[in-house]
Amino acid sequence: MWTVVYIAPNKPMAEMMKEMLEKEGMLVMLRPVGVPHMGNTANVEVLVPESEAEDAQELLTAAFGR
């Protein structure tokens, strides 16, 4: 089961978070939120497997605050 650990304000930020988590060995999936025509400016959910959610949230909080 995938779990949302962060909702990024845009695609570039989500990609940066994904890269950071993948460097830590985590599986990461991005899912756009809202209307598709907003492109890179739409919110994007950052998801990880449920078993990695707590660690991912800690890493994202340390790196980006929340």
Q: Structure tokens of 42?
A: 């739409």
Every domain of the chain and the residues it spans: 2-64
What is the full per-residue pLDDT of the chain (66 aa) written as tens digits?
999 999 999 999 999 999 999 999 999 999 999 876 677 788 999 999 999 999 999 999 999 875
For the domain made up of 2-64, give the CATH fold: Alpha-Beta Plaits (3.30.70)
CA-wise closest residue to 46 among 2, 1, 9, 7: 7
pTM higher than 0.75? yes
- Rounded CA separation 41/25 (Å): 27
